[in-house]
Structure 1
Amino acid sequence: MTQKLWGGRFSEDITSEVLEYTLTVDVDVRLLPHDLWQNVAHVLLLAQQGIINMDAARSLLNRLGELDREREAGALTLRPEYEDVHLNLEQMVIEKLGLDVGGRMHTARSRNDQVSTDARLYLREVLLSAMTANLDLIDLLAEVSDDDLTTVLPGYTHSQAAQPVSVAFWRTAHASALSRDVRRLRDAFDRVNESPLGACALAGTSFNLDRDATARLLGFDRVLTHALDATSARDHMIEAAAVFALGGNNLSRMAEEIVMWSGHEYRLCEVGDAFSTGSSIMPQKKNPVVAELVRGRSGRTVGVLMQLLTAVKGVTLGYSCDLQEDKPFLWQSIDTYLSALRIVEAQTRTLRFDPGRGEELCWVNFSTATELANYLVAEAGVSFRESHHVVGRVVGQLLARQATLRDLDLVAELVAAEGYPVAEPVLRDILAPRNAVNGYTSAGGTAATSVRRTAAELRERSAEQRAWVDERQADLTAARAATFRCAEEVAAGVALDKALPAALCAVTDKESR
């Protein structure tokens, strides 16, 4: 007969090939602290509800405390023959306490609600870490200096130079996009932070559980009530993966600009040597490899989203082993996204723009032609469509003569020939890229006053979001500490009806922290 904890009806054990194919211990290592926390909370409530006796509860809590201390010391290792983190810990408890005591820990629970609970406990910490990493990058990008405000570069549409912008405008544009990623992460946290514990396999249980109390001990906001939905749901993981994919794409777009603008044809910016490598054959090369890898690896986050959507779409309600494929892929997305956020922040600190080159490209690419059209509308009283045609013809003739808007005498001649004479000093003022940048004074525009206002709003929003992250992290830390403190007290002989209410109070009483 098989010796597996689930093997009562089986006459022989699974083969080594099946074990290797189905085990998840390498993936479950991340869930180890969370499974221990969950086990402690579950045992406390089993005892509180009279489902197990106090002697068994004290022995179980004492053993779980030992295992958690071993984990903190780096001495707790999962064994492949026990398949996953849940059976590993249960086996470790049974080996020490015997089947009669250790075998009671899994009462009124299934690995189905257990794994879903663990994954949520882990994922909500990831979401908070991702928010913090985004906020760090947002704060850095929103730290605009006077040089950032005065250094111009071409803005691009259709990969063609369009209108001049400032470096500060570019920095705050990316910070603005990242700010939405933070909001998405926060929204995802709300749906992740629901407790499936107590749903058991799919139908609930006949035991009198207090699911609200275990949810509170585990720091959840609420119980995910419907048992079948609670064990089947993976939409919260897909939602998180979607946020990681969107965030990865935003980082990739920033990386793409840095890669492109670092090239000799642009020469707009340069990353620090520590974030570049050279060529094995061409001694002149400085390759922005970090930005290239951020751009390339963002594809992993997109791939994970597609994998999860595909894996889940054909699974009926109720647990199927297809669903254990969620974690390996999601873990990859998590690692890819968090590492990209951190390396991009570090690289951004070294990023330098060439103000002379940026202004030169604005001139030679006719980036201020729109300003001349706007001037004719404002001062000559013509319609914008007429002025658009006039300036378009002027640009066409300049190109034919291999001239630019910097050739002011020729520009003045061509504009006058169109019937709208403008003095050269006025043209010089209209067409200067820096003047154009400072002239876009509309809300969200490139003018220094507008960019400073935008940067201040981004920093203010970031501070609010960071305060929320800190508060939520403090909630989770307090919940775990209260749960383990309660377990230690009960294991040491303190009455459960005294220790547990105090723990639940500590979880909810934020003012006392």
Structure 2
Amino acid sequence: MSKLWGGRFAKNTDVMVEEFTSSISFDQRMYAEDIAGSIAHATMLAKCGIIANEEADTIIEGLKTILADIEAGNFSFEISLEDIHMNIEKRLTDRIGAVGGKLHTARSRNDQVALDTHMYLKHEIGAIGTLLQDLQQAIVEIAQKYQDVVMPGYTHLQRAQPILFSHHMMAYFSMLTRDFRRLKGVWEGTDILPLGAGALAGTTFPIDRHFVAQQLKFSQVYENSMDAVSDRDYILEFLSFASILMMHLSRISEEIILWSSTEFSFIELDDSHCTGSSIMPQKKNPDVAELVRGKTGRVFGHLMALLTTAKGLPLAYNKDLQEDKEGMFDTIDTLKFSLSVYASMLRAMKVNQKVMRAAVSNDFSNATDMADYLVKKGLPFRQAHEVVGKSVAYCLSANKWLMDLSLAEFKEFSPLFESDILEAIKVETCVDARNSYGGTSSTGVKQQFTVAQDILIKQQSVLDMYTKGNI
């Protein structure tokens, strides 16, 4: 098959080279964006008098029939035509004749592919943002459902202080809120029109790039044509956002996996989100959490791959930049799957309140509150720390917990202890006493719920804007 660019060549492209350089196997998913961009471009060419109105109408009608063919499954993509742009253009000229060749006036595949990618990612940002917000909502729901459940808080994976399970879960809500903020930055970097930059230097035709931007709902236009065709910062920003988001999902996955183990038994995942063993009948494996944890490395890899690809490229376009899409597409698919299945898994998860409460009753996580008690009696904190440390050492040797000590035993360590010490170091007291802003007290967690609802409302207005900002 002759190439649309083949006039300069005396030989046909080697079949192996065709297969190696072709991108149609993965960029065909941008067919709708490619056609929408071409319709806007044809409309602009007619508006600027570069082609006749009748020619533009014929081109646009032909593009619409091709769109219908693709969506009906009646379109065969050909490797010999290299990419989504050439496949559509070849079908267009076959269908409407030579006038189809006028569509490529004043543009290059360099700015055309950049446009398609910008448009595709803009659309997916809205979809990912919606799924991200749903996961945030799921976290709020489960935190509210179990808002009074007390559990051990950990540092270094060692029992530290008693906290509310709801407080622990809302920490992940805060992480995802920052992820949403980063996603907004990705949108801003993606919402820039590259079309009209040509191959790298612009065009000699009197085009109107801002008109195309309005047609395709871009708020900005690239100021430099060389930057327009070589910029992949917006994809890197997306992959960076995705990597941090997956890191957060991997962290909660690690805890879900630990908590669902027999050793912890803090939670029970629903059967619908687990699998069994082919040889061990008793097994119930947390596969969703494990897969999300595993897929995190995959997303990290896509970020590093594109950073490595882009780091040595001279201006402007280079074929290396074809490597931007597969990692982006795979990351989009991975994020959408991970976010949706995770929200479903959390909503179905059960929390073992009694097990968590028993765990926090049989440890020394109330030791800090015992020290705080002495500080409030006037003892400097460092001395109070030493007193409590010796008390813990005594309990360990006597096989006791702090709550097991008698007042006489307390007074052996400090005369400042009074009969109210046992009330002061009760688990519930320890939790509710931490009512500083952002703390784990019931009042503090309820305040977090209020803030979370305000955040979700504001985020929804952003998502509504993104919907309006896509064609």
Give the TM-score range, shorter chain: over 0.9
- Asked if structure 2 preserves the Cα contact closer than 8 Å seen for 1:271 and 1:351, the reply is yes
CA 1:228–1:359: 2 relative to 1, 3 Å: same
Which residue of structure 1 aligns with residue 90 of structure 2?
91
Which AA in structure 1 matches 2:41?
H
Q: CA–CA distance in 1 between the matches of 2:417 and 2:88?
A: 83
Q: CA deviation at 1:474?
A: 2.5
**1:276 equivalent among 268, 274, 282:** 274
Q: CA–CA distance in 2 between the matches of 1:30 and 1:281?
A: 41
Residues 246-303 of structure 1, C-alpha deviation per residue, up to 9 Å, x if partnerless? 0000011011001011111111111111111122222222111111111111111111
Residues 16-52 of structure 1, C-alpha deviation per residue, up to 9 Å, x if partnerless? 1111111111111221000000000000001111111
For the residue of structure 1 that corresponds to 2:161, the secondary structure is strand
Give runs of aligned pairs for residues 434-473 of structure 1, distance below 5 A: 434-473=428-467
Q: CA deviation at 1:116?
A: 0.5
**1:385 equivalent among 379, 382, 385:** 382
- Asked if structure 1 preserves the Cα contact closer than 8 Å seen for 2:265 and 2:352, the reply is yes
Q: CA–CA distance in 2 between the matches of 1:213 and 1:414?
A: 83
For the residue of structure 2 that corresponds to 1:116, the secondary structure is helix
CA 1:434–1:77: 2 relative to 1, 3 Å: farther
Q: CA deviation at 1:404?
A: 1.6
Q: CA–CA distance in 2 between the matches of 1:450 and 1:213?
A: 51
**2:177 equivalent among 179, 183, 189:** 179
Q: CA–CA distance in 1 between the matches of 2:329 and 2:320?
A: 16
Q: CA–CA distance in 2 between the matches of 1:284 and 1:302?
A: 34
Residues 216-263 of structure 1, C-alpha deviation per residue, up to 9 Å, x if partnerless? 111111101200000010111001000000000001101100101111
Residues 391-446 of structure 1, C-alpha deviation per residue, up to 9 Å, x if partnerless? 0111111112222223132xx3442112235345x233222222211111011111
- Asked if structure 1 preserves the Cα contact closer than 8 Å seen for 2:35 and 2:63, the reply is yes
Q: CA deviation at 1:145?
A: 6.0
For the residue of structure 1 that corresponds to 2:402, the secondary structure is coil
- Asked if structure 2 preserves the Cα contact closer than 8 Å seen for 1:142 and 1:456, the reply is no
Residues 176-228 of structure 1, C-alpha deviation per residue, up to 9 Å, x if partnerless? 11011001001110110000000010000111110000011111111012000
Which AA in structure 2 matches 1:123?
L
**2:117 equivalent among 116, 119, 126:** 119
Which AA in structure 1 matches 2:457?
A
Gaps of 5+ in 1: 481-513
**1:340 equivalent among 324, 338, 347:** 338
Which AA in structure 1 matches 2:326?
P
Of stretches 85-94 and 124-133 in structure 1, the one that deviates more from structure 2 is 124-133
Give runs of aligned pairs for residues 471-482 of structure 1, distance below 5 A: 471-476=465-470, 480=471
Which residue of structure 1 aligns with residue 62 of structure 2?
63
Which residue of structure 2 aligns with residue 229 of structure 1?
227
For the residue of structure 2 that corresponds to 1:161, the secondary structure is strand
Q: CA deviation at 1:360?
A: 1.8
Q: CA–CA distance in 2 between the matches of 1:11 and 1:59?
A: 33
Which residue of structure 1 aligns with residue 417 of structure 2?
422
C-alpha RMSD of matched pairs (Å): 1.4
Q: CA–CA distance in 2 between the matches of 1:270 and 1:178?
A: 23
Which residue of structure 1 aligns with residue 4 of structure 2?
5
Q: CA–CA distance in 1 between the matches of 2:52 and 2:68?
A: 25
- Asked if structure 2 preserves the Cα contact closer than 8 Å seen for 1:24 and 1:84, the reply is yes
**TM-score, with structure 2 as normaliser:** 0.97
Residues 81-127 of structure 1, C-alpha deviation per residue, up to 9 Å, x if partnerless? 211000001001111122x3111110100000000000000001111
For the residue of structure 2 that corresponds to 1:153, the secondary structure is strand
Q: CA–CA distance in 1 between the matches of 2:40 and 2:309?
A: 31
CA 1:101–1:173: 2 relative to 1, 3 Å: same
Residues 145-189 of structure 1, C-alpha deviation per residue, up to 9 Å, x if partnerless? 665221111111111111111111112111111011001001110
- Asked if structure 1 preserves the Cα contact closer than 8 Å seen for 2:201 and 2:226, the reply is yes
- Asked if structure 1 preserves the Cα contact closer than 8 Å seen for 2:37 and 2:116, the reply is yes
- Asked if structure 1 preserves the Cα contact closer than 8 Å seen for 2:118 and 2:191, the reply is yes
Of stretches 395-404 and 74-83 in structure 1, the one that deviates more from structure 2 is 74-83
Q: CA–CA distance in 1 between the matches of 2:414 and 2:27?
A: 76
Q: CA–CA distance in 1 between the matches of 2:92 and 2:282?
A: 62
**TM-score, with structure 1 as normaliser:** 0.89
- Asked if structure 1 preserves the Cα contact closer than 8 Å seen for 2:143 and 2:167, the reply is no
Which residue of structure 1 aligns with residue 248 of structure 2?
250
Give runs of aligned pairs for residues 138-177 of structure 1, distance below 5 A: 138-143=136-141, 148-177=146-175
For the residue of structure 2 that corresponds to 1:150, the secondary structure is coil
Q: CA–CA distance in 2 between the matches of 1:74 and 1:432?
A: 67
Q: CA–CA distance in 2 between the matches of 1:75 and 1:403?
A: 76
Which AA in structure 1 matches 2:125?
L
Which AA in structure 2 matches 1:49?
C
For the residue of structure 2 that corresponds to 1:201, the secondary structure is coil
Which residue of structure 2 aligns with residue 200 of structure 1?
198
- 2:398 is aligned with 1:401: yes
Tell me the percent identity.
37
Q: CA–CA distance in 2 between the matches of 1:153 and 1:27?
A: 47
Q: CA deviation at 1:144?
A: 5.4
- Asked if structure 2 preserves the Cα contact closer than 8 Å seen for 1:363 and 1:405, the reply is no
Query: What is the number of residues matched between the two proteins?
Result: 471
Give runs of aligned pairs for residues 240-389 of structure 1, distance below 5 A: 240-378=238-376, 380-389=377-386
Which residue of structure 2 aligns with residue 18 of structure 1?
17
Q: CA–CA distance in 2 between the matches of 1:353 and 1:180?
A: 26
Which residue of structure 2 aligns with residue 47 of structure 1?
46
Gaps of 5+ in 2: none
For the residue of structure 2 that corresponds to 1:104, the secondary structure is helix
